Amino acid sequence: MELIKGAEVVAALNKRLAAEVEKLTEAGGRPPKLAILRVGEQPDQVSYERGARKRMDKIGISHQEYVYPADMEKELFYQEFDRINVDSETDGILLLRPLPAHLEEKELERRIDPAKDVDGISPINQAKVMAGEKDGFAPCTPEAVIEVLEYAGVNLSGKRVTVVGRSMVVGKPLSLLLLNRHATVTICHTRTKDLPAECRRAEILIAAAGRPRLLTAEHVGEQTIVIDVGINVDENGKLCGDVDLASLEAAGAASAATPVPGGVGTVTTSVLAKHVLEARLRK
């Protein structure tokens, strides 16, 4: 079984993006700019912000961080958000979520300028993804899956793809991205009857259910390509995916698979950078 490592995808994508940013600035344009908004000090959000900053620096995208206390008054936060939202020098906005309970995420999803919504949370961008329109931004993780498959040389047209997971963050938008590339898509979830049988029909199996090691060798055919989007913490406190990779290796299942950690998750911030650059170029 071949391992498709995210680092290889990131290196190729970063090289391409850095060249485009350099071309833009050499022509006299300002570099793209990302605003990162964080409310509170949740460790996973702090970690993601740090990774995003490093990735933007590597590619040549400028960034500005806005950090607010977890108990910030709702209306005051909305005012701050609106100020950033209309700033002409800001090309993309990344709102780290989940937000504290008193801040209404749905309200912010409606408020964000779709042209700056580089993580695909706006209902307008969701509709554009559904319609297959090219100027809409999909969420970064689903698009990272597409980048991984394209890097691996997989032609999605006509392929039988099963997505295990139906969230608005990954499963549903990913299914639409796959359909837009002419794949034949089946959506499954944890309540699907005879999940192993459904999964074994797939030429490409994508795990995005958020359940540690949910999928094992019994779910996977010998020639299946397995993409694991899950990031979980197991009973020993270690990161693991939705796929039991050891089970696949022992049974000789799957022709290729992404590891966790070191797979799709590493590609998401490069996709974020790609979206910021696209937002800047559209101006």
Query: pLDDT tens across 215-226, in order?
Result: 999 999 999 999
For the domain made up of 140-265, the CATH class stated in words is alpha beta
Same fold, 28-114 and 140-265: yes
Domains in the chain: boundaries: 28-114, 140-265
* pLDDT digit string, tens, across residues 39-89: 999 999 999 999 999 999 999 999 999 999 999 999 999 999 999 999 999
pTM metric for this prediction: 0.96
Alpha-carbon Rg for the chain, nearest whole angstrom, is 19
* pLDDT digit string, tens, across residues 3-13: 999 999 999 99
Helices (H), 132-204: 140-151, 171-180, 195-200
Cα–Cα distances (Å) from 91 to 39, 116, 144, 192, in that order, read: 20, 6, 20, 41
Residue 46: per-residue pLDDT:
97
More confident residue, 234 or 163: 163
pLDDT at 283 over 90: no
Cα–Cα distance for residue pair 185/231, rounded to 1 Å: 23
pLDDT at 263 over 90: yes
* pLDDT digit string, tens, across residues 135-186: 999 999 999 999 999 999 999 999 999 999 999 999 999 999 999 999 999 9
**Token pair of 93 as six digits:** 């906005």
Cα–Cα distance for residue pair 239/260, rounded to 1 Å: 7
Determine which helix (DSSP H) or strand (DSSP E) holds 184, and give its type and residue range. strand 184-188
* pLDDT digit string, tens, across residues 17-34: 999 999 999 999 999 999
**Comparing C-alpha atoms, which of 156, 154, 96, 119 is closest to residue 271?**
119
Residue 169: per-residue pLDDT:
94
3-state helix, strand and coil shares in percent for the chain, rounded to the nearest 5? 45, 15, 40
List beta partners, residue 243. 215
Q: Which CATH superfamily is domain 28-114 in?
A: Leucine Dehydrogenase, chain A, domain 1 (3.40.50.10860)
Cα–Cα distance for residue pair 33/199, rounded to 1 Å: 41
